[in-house]
Each structure stands twice: as structure tokens, then as C-alpha cells.
Amino acid sequence: MTVNAYDQTQRDMSTGRAVEARALSRCAIALNDAMTSKEPEALYDAVSLNYRLWLLFYSEIEKNQVDLPPQIRNNVIALASYVVSSAPRAFSGETKVLETLININRNIAAGLMETPPGAAKAAPATQPGEQVPFQSTMA
């Protein structure tokens, strides 16, 4: 029960980029696990999940639900088109296609986890033993 509460809190506090990165990472893990296990049901589930995720990305962009620079928009549409068109080969267990899908997901997830240019950077982490001054939130 505690893990479920933690997961819910984590979902509630996540940014769109973090949610997308986590979804892509989970798909990459599922695809990799299915590829190594060679279990048809696991492969079907993993490829289906990945397929649906990329269809979601595509539809959100096509509906203009996200504000992306034209180059990134076009790149995501191209990647989504590749994922969708390669699904039949992925469902059949073609290792090269599965590896490509895994790498796409991992690379996009890694990019989403980076701080975008112009975004506020997080406060620097403190060193062990370093004291952090108290800052009141009271007015």
C-alpha cells in the first residue's frame, strides 16, 4: 500500500517531461526484457505498449496539444512513424528492430531528463556535513 501511495505522489508531482521520460524508459525496459525472454506474450505486451505510447505522442502533436519548435516536432513525428511502421517486424521478434526501438526510447528519455535550455536550474546540492541556512516561508 505504501508503494502505491508513493507512486501516486510521484505521478502527481511529475512534470510532463519527467512523465514522458519515465514512460519511454519503462517501454525500453519492457522491450528489452521481452527480447531476452523470447516469450511471445511478453513481446506482444511490450511492443503494444510502445506502439500506443508513440501513437499518443503523434496524436498530441497533430492536435497541436504541445508547443514544440518545428524541427523537434518533425523529428518526433518521424520517430513515431518509424515506430508504427516497424511494429509488425517488432511483433515478430526481429532483434535489430527491437534494439532500435529500445535505443530510440532510451535516447529520447535521456534527452527529456536534461534541463532544457533557458529553464531554471535546480539549486546546487549540498555537500555532506554542509549546513543549509533556514529559510522561512512565513511572511
Give the pLDDT confidence of 71-112 residue by residue, as tens digits: 999 999 999 999 999 999 999 999 999 999 999 999 999 998
Instruction: Among 16-20, 52-56, 135-139, name the most confident range.
Output: 52-56
- As a whole number of angstroms, the distance between CA 135 and CA 139 comes to 11
Question: For the whole prediction, is pTM greater than 0.85?
Answer: no
Q: Which residues of 58-81 are buried (b: 16+ CB within 10 A; e: fewer)?
A: beebeeeeeeeeeeeeeebeebbe
- CA 17 to the chain's CA centroid: 8
pLDDT band at 64 (very low <50, low <70, confident <90, very high): confident
Residue 3 confidence (pLDDT) above 90? no
